[in-house]
């Protein structure tokens, strides 16, 4: 009886041990599941936080401009004028204008009559001088004949040597009077010719300030203005710094104010001095005649003074403040830096940078006010301008 009771007690205790072991294994398994769940949740949260952190860094579009061959150009303004302007006024004694033969815009030849002055008195004076010349010539012929006869008779003793000398002197005086009369006639002709207002050279008549019936004289001033050969030029005003880069022969495009057509020209003279007040000099641009190029008008010019390899950026990349022009670049650590630059030509391709960049930097193309020096960004590169 005691044996059986002892055997049953052992069985019950073994069963309780097995139950406890199962419970322990279930607790351990649950703990492991909880740990794994916690690790999984923590990793997910970490990734999400990292993603959120990444998303808070702004993306910035950048460009590495490199070096592009651009024309070194200077944009300037100035006035149009005749390259060689010839003022024409009264040369002779003047008088009443009888007729004006040309109008502004007319082409004239050297010596062409522009206006005539009334000449009735001078014509009569020339006729009188011509008549006096004929009288002197007649007297000279008579004196020559007398001398010839005297020379034939002197050998026969009919005329003395003294009479022959007197006749010789008379002949010489008559010849001299002919020369005087010729000079006086030539003088009258010259005075008559000087009454005509003539063109000193081929060219284009620019202005006319004389009318028929007007009394003109030496004090009348300029009656006509002529552009020699029709040549026109632009007097371009250029800053002293840009003046140093210009050379005679540099090509230029001139556009009159109010017009859309540009005209080719070239620099033929550069001012040797600079105005001390404006700090500017002049570049004289020679142009071929065109009726749209009117002396006295205003025009703009684009002067090409060579080529250079420079970085070219979109205009949106350029910022300005009281310190000048600048751009934002993204360095190797993806941090923003300010870089001061000097801009050059502005064209359809962009803005050329003459100082401040090598062309190998990552430049922010939209450098708005949201960027600050030292800020971390995500650079996204775009294609640079064609080289």
User: Rounded CA gap, 260 and 181, in Å?
Assistant: 64
* pTM, two decimal places: 0.55
Structural domain range at position 185: 120-194
What tens digit of pLDDT does each residue of 340-359 get? 988 877 777 788 888 888 88
Handedness of CA 71, 77, 81, 84 (dihedral sign): negative
| Domain match, 217 and 278 both | no
Identify whether 364 is part of a domain.
Answer: yes
Domain match, 28 and 158 both: no
| Domain end position, chosen among 255, 276, 308 | 308
Sheet holding 95-100, edge to edge: 197-198, 113-117, 95-100, 215-216
Confidence band, pLDDT 50/70/90 cuts, at residue 28: confident
Q: Judge whether residue 308 has pLDDT over 60.
A: yes
User: Is 354 in contact with 360 (CB distance < 8 Å)?
Assistant: no
Percent of the chain with pLDDT over 90: 23
Please state whether beta strands 378-382 and 59-63 pair in parallel, antiparallel, or not at all (unpaired). parallel
In this prediction, residue 181 has a pLDDT band, given cuts at 50, 70 and 90, of: confident
What's the number of domains the chain is made of? Answer: 5
Residue 256 lies in a domain: yes
CA–CA separation, 103 and 225 (whole Å): 11
In a domain, 51, yes or no: no
Query: How far are the Cα atoms of 164, 180, 291 from residue 158, in angstroms, in the given order?
Result: 11, 34, 84
Q: What is the CATH number of the domain that holds 249?
A: 2.40.30.170
Does 46 or 42 have the greater pLDDT score? Answer: 42
Same domain, 372 and 343: yes
The answer to whether residues 367 and 329 belong to one domain is yes
Domain check: are 238 and 296 in the same one?
yes
Q: Is the pLDDT of residue 71 over 90?
A: no
Co-location of 224 and 239 in the same domain: no
Find the CATH number of the domain harbouring 205: 2.40.50.100
212-253 pLDDT, tens digit each: 999 998 888 899 999 998 899 999 999 888 888 888 999 999
Residue 7 lies in a domain: yes
Question: Is there a domain that residue 387 lies in?
Answer: no
Residue 169 within a domain: yes
What is the rounded distance in angstroms from the CA atom of residue 321 to the CA atom of residue 15? 89
- Asked if residue 175 belongs to a domain, the reply is yes
pLDDT in tens, 72-118: 778 889 999 999 999 999 987 888 899 999 999 899 999 999 999 98
Buried b (16+ CB within 10 A) or exposed e, 349-372: ebbbbeebbebebbbbbebeeebe
In this structure, the answer to whether residues 215 and 97 fall within a common structural domain is yes
Out of 248, 279, 308, pick the residue that ends a domain: 308
Which carries the bigger pLDDT value, residue 189 or residue 270?
A: 270
Among 252, 277, 308, the domain-final residue is: 308
> Are 168 and 157 members of one domain?
yes
What is the per-residue pLDDT for 45?
Answer: 56
Same domain, 105 and 208: yes
Task: State the CATH number of the domain containing residue 372.
Answer: 2.40.420.20
| Residue of 95, 105, 109, 80 whose CA lies nearest to 208 | 105
Same domain for 244 and 296: yes
Cβ partners under 8 Å of residue 299, min gap 6: 77, 78, 79, 80, 234, 254, 255, 256, 257, 293
95, 125 Cβ separation under 8 angstroms: no
Report d(CA 288, CA 232) in Å as an integer. Answer: 6
Share of the chain above pLDDT 70, in %: 87
Neighbour-count burial of 229, counting CB atoms closer than 10 A to its CB (0-12 exposed, 13-18 middle, 19+ buried): middle
Check: CB of residue 71 under 8 Å from CB of residue 309. no
Nearest in space to 148 (alpha carbons), one of 175, 120, 171, 124: 171
Check which CATH number belongs to the domain holding 180 and give it. 1.10.287
Give pLDDT, residue 186: 86
Tokens of 194: 């000087």
Tell me if 177 is assigned to some domain: yes
DSSP category for residue 356: S
Same domain, 320 and 211: no
Residue 95, pLDDT score = 87
Same domain membership, residue 91 and residue 221: yes
């Amino acid at each position: 009886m005691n044996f059986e009771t002892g055997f049953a007690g052992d069985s019950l205790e073994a069963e309780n041990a097995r139950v406890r072991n199962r419970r322990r294994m279930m607790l351990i398994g649950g703990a492991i599941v909880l740990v794994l769940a916690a690790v999984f949740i923590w990793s997910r949260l970490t990734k999400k936080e990292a993603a959120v952190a990444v998303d808070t860094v702004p993306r910035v579009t950048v460009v590495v401009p490199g070096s592009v061959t651009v024309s070194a150009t200077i944009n300037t303004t100035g006035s149009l004028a005749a390259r060689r302007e010839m003022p024409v006024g009264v040369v002779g004694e003047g008088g009443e204008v009888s007729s004006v033969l040309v109008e502004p815009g007319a082409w004239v030849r050297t010596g062409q009559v522009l206006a005539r002055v009334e000449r009735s008195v001078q014509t009569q004076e020339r006729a009188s001088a011509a008549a006096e010349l004929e009288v002197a010539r007649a007297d000279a012929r008579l004196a020559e004949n007398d001398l010839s006869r005297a020379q034939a008779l002197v050998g026969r003793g009919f005329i003395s040597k003294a009479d022959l000398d007197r006749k010789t002197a008379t002949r010489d005086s008559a010849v001299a009077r002919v020369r005087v009369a010729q000079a006086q006639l030539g003088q009258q002709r010259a005075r008559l010719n000087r009454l005509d207002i003539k063109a000193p050279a081929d060219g284009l008549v620019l202005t006319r300030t004389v009318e028929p019936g007007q009394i003109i004289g030496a004090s009348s001033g300029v009656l006509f203005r002529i552009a020699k050969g029709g040549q026109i030029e632009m007097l371009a005003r250029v800053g002293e710094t840009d003046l140093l880069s210009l050379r005679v022969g540099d090509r230029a495009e001139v556009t009159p104010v109010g017009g859309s057509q540009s005209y080719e020209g070239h620099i033929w003279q550069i001012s040797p001095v600079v105005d001390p007040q404006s700090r500017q000099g002049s570049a004289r641009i020679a142009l071929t005649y065109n009726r749209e190029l009117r002396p006295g008008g205003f025009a703009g010019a684009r002067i090409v003074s060579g080529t250079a390899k420079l970085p070219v950026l979109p205009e949106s990349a350029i910022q300005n403040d009281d310190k000048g022009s600048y751009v934002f670049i993204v360095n190797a650590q993806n941090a923003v830096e300010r870089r001061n630059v000097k801009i050059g030509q502005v064209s359809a391709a962009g803005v050329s940078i003459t100082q401040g960049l090598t062309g190998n930097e990552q430049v922010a193309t939209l450098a708005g006010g949201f960027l600050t020096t030292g800020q971390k960004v995500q650079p996204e590169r775009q294609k640079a301008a064609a080289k």
